[in-house]
Amino acid sequence: MAGLGRDERLLDLATGTGDLAFLGAEQCGSVVGLDVTWRMLELASGKRRGAAPRFVAGDMLDLPFAAGSFDVVTTGYGIRNVPDLGRALDEVARVLRPGGRFFSLDFDRPGNRILWAVYFGYLTVVGSALGLVLHRDADAYRYIPESLRGYPGSRQVAHLLERRGFEDVGVVPVLGGLMAIHHARKRKGV
């Protein structure tokens, strides 16, 4: 979907263990993965796959890069967890060159109240079970449904993108709308 080019510079925010950054490095000339958590960056750096991104510790609310440094910014499960979504999107716009592209994959908030209740319950139960099985800690993934409580949902995120200097904003529903991919282009002249 991103249509990455060899000469493009990509920034992957909330990179975690670097999965999106490594995928980008297969296609782009320069890739940086940023995460606020050192341990995640250690795990990402320990992976060895072909082209290697550069990993940087940093905060999405205060990106350590000059304005217009990147052609593409991606994030997977990142914007839902940031404490100030508007400020994070302003930072994305700042580091993108005019015409640069933004892509975000995240959970969504179904509009139907019954579906929302079932979805929230499912994430709570399955998250607890996975946390217990994988990490011996039922709370390991409990943050996911909790983070959705304050998340505005895909439609509101799309409106925020439009108000913050992006155009061609779109939302692609995934898994029947339980997740969503946002895509947007920074307006030229902004």
Residues 115 and 175 in one domain: no
- Residue 100 and residue 118 in one domain: no
Confirm whether pTM is higher than 0.75: yes
Residue 51 has pLDDT above 80, yes or no: no
Q: For residue 190, what pLDDT is reported? A: 63
Q: How many domains is the chain built from?
A: 2
CB 60 within 8 A of CB 78: yes
Query: Does 91 share its domain with 124?
Result: no
Task: Verify that 13 and 103 share a domain, yes or no.
Answer: yes
What are 40's two structure tokens?
A: 């995640």
Same structural domain for residues 41 and 89?
Answer: yes
Query: What range does the domain containing 132 cover?
Result: 110-150
On whether residue 1 sits in a domain, the answer given is no
In a domain, 19, yes or no: yes
pLDDT tens-digit map of 132-181: 887 777 777 777 777 777 888 899 999 999 999 999 999 999 988 889 99
At residue 65, what are phi and psi to the nearest 5 degrees? -135, 150
Report the CATH number at residue 167.
Answer: 3.40.50.150
79/19 same-domain check: yes
Return d(Cα 60, Cα 73) in angstroms, integer: 11
Between residues 98 and 178, the one the model is more confident about: 98
